[in-house]
Amino acid sequence: MEFSVLLSLALLTGLFLLLVRGRPKARGHLPPGPQPLPFLGNLLQLQRGGLLSSFLRSVTANIICSIVFGERFDYKDREFLRLLDMIYQSFALISSFSSQVFEFFSDVLKHFPGTHTQINKNLQEVITFIGHSVEKHRATLDPSNPRDFIDSYLLRMDKEKSNPHSEFHHKNLTLTLLSLFFAGTETTSTTLRYGFLLMLKYPHVAGGPGTGEKSNLHSEFHHKNLTLTLLSLFFAGTETTSTTLRYGFLLMLKYPHVAERVQKEIEQVIGSHRPPALDDHSRMPYTEAVIHEIQRFADLIPIGVPHVVTKDTYFRGFIIPKNTEVYPILSSALHDPRYFEKPDAFNPDHFLDAKGALKKNEAFIPFSMGKRICLGEGIARNELFLFFTTILQNFSVASPVAPEDIDLTPREIGVGRVPPTYQIRFLPH
């Protein structure tokens, strides 16, 4: 009994020493934050997942969806994610050892529960999804204007309906769509993941470290940075740009006098005889100010990608230990009243000086800052200018509701924000 008491005391003492010694040395006050555990740190407080795997699946699946269904899905759409999950599960189960055993003894094993039961259930759910989509297409089919693969297939089915030997029938349509989903989603994304793994194994093939800069141990031209660069370009050039434009046109509906002034500047500088060009940037200060203010007001990504402290750093009475991840709070800068007179209001004058010229504002950091600034910034800026001006050059925008009734409240999606759903009419000039 006495031994167990002593053992318990020893364990408690050891735990206490671990907690005390596990803390950073008293070199100064750490910034406030969650208390890390010995050895584990804040690991248990983090949520991690197969980001690259799920991302590649979603991206490749959306390419197939745009071809097959004529539309792409939101990456947070539950039905879309459920569909991907069914395909992923089925692919994993079909590749399992038990499924291979089933193939040899299917006559006997088909009467017992097993992986084949789950595979059939998953496939039936995917087939049901496909069936609903086909029926929607059939109900809205316009023979003079096929929208996608399904429309084209349905038209061919109708054309060959009198041919009893035709291979264009409903069953083959379903099987074709299933094949497209598997080939274009799971196998493609898995091949890409394997490809990236091989590039890490053989960097000389990727052309990164081990080739021209092999002797430079500090070179930033390596595979990880290549992947991050491509991801940055992809997101900046697609999702963030399109979301900014959606928010921008919502703001034009809310503030029609701003849209009219932009159109007036377009008419003065560009006219209607040619499309906008990048050279027009510098001659259109008000339009540039409006685009800047759309980005500031929308505040799509409130938190930037993390930076890492390379050495112990003292800042405002606190110590930031080496290797600490620091996240720039972009939203704080974009709504700082010291730099923006009315931070919570949409006001393009935030970026114009007394003479109406575009002025630089150091708090305007929608693409983050420092060496981790979004590499797609240049692409995004050019895309925003060209799309925004081209649309307003050719169309006026109108809303079915009065401007004062338009709600600008964004929807939160993960760490990002998107504009609320709204209706818009594009009226050609």
Q: Residue ranges for the binding site for heme?
A: 374
Distance CA 129, CA 150 (A): 13
Distance CA 127, CA 124 (A): 5
Asked if 304 contacts 328 with a C-beta cutoff of 8 angstroms, the reply is: yes
Distance CA 210, CA 198 (A): 14
Nearest C-alpha neighbor of 370 from the set 337, 327, 318: 327
Asked if 333 contacts 340 with a C-beta cutoff of 8 angstroms, the reply is: no
Asked if 206 contacts 345 with a C-beta cutoff of 8 angstroms, the reply is: no
Any idea which residue has 């997101």 for tokens? 235
SS3 assignment, position 329? strand
Nearest C-alpha neighbor of 328 from the set 308, 312, 350: 308
Please, which residues have CB within 8 angstroms of residue 382's CB and are 6 or more apart in sequence? 278
Annotated binding site: 374
Element containing residue 3 per DSSP (H, E): helix 2-21
Angle between helices 285-298 and 239-254 (to 10 degrees): 110
Asked if 320 contacts 306 with a C-beta cutoff of 8 angstroms, the reply is: no
Nearest C-alpha neighbor of 51 from the set 193, 216, 205: 193
Residue type, position 334, single letter: L
Distance CA 21, CA 114 (A): 52
CB atoms < 10 A from the CB of 272, how many? Answer: 10
Please, which residues have CB within 8 angstroms of residue 171's CB and are 6 or more apart in sequence? none
